[in-house]
Amino acid sequence: HEPALRYKYWDDDNEYKQDYSEIYVNASLSPARWLTVGTFNRFSWEHSSTPEVNTYITLRERDIASLSIGTIYLRDMCEQYYASVSYSLTQRYQLIASWHYDADTSTLVYQRYGLRTKIGSTWLIDYVISNRSGSTRENSTSIGINIKILGL
């Protein structure tokens, strides 16, 4: 029995290869307005394994504040825990923050702090400062602006 999801490609040695796509499942459940529980999983047909499992739980107090905690697990690579919070200052402005902790290295590997602005009922703009550490390739402090169109 062969999975239906299959793709073919040419590798670096110019040889014709055939692999099976991985299946991604993103599911969440909100049994109450103030609670959401979810998971994101990646399944490999070819290796009969689950190389990635992410879980989270979010608690909300109306539109005033929220707290999310979760896990990020990549087999043989990464086991992290994270928390993110938001607090509404007004209907238009919100403080946001998030932290990632790496269990393997016992270090805080990512921090993000920002101000979210809602413009009308269409746009969200985040002004953020973030710090990433623990990886020599990605160690940095950065300042950014993220723009999101609501309803898409």
Distance CA 115, CA 95 (A): 5
| pLDDT of 137 | 65
Q: What is the mean pLDDT of the chain?
A: 86
pLDDT at residue 120 is higher than 80: yes
For the entire predicted model, the pTM comes to 0.75
Mean pLDDT, to the nearest integer, of 88-104? 95
Residue found under tokens 């107090």: 61
Mean pLDDT, to the nearest integer, of 105-119? 94
Distance CA 56, CA 98 (A): 13
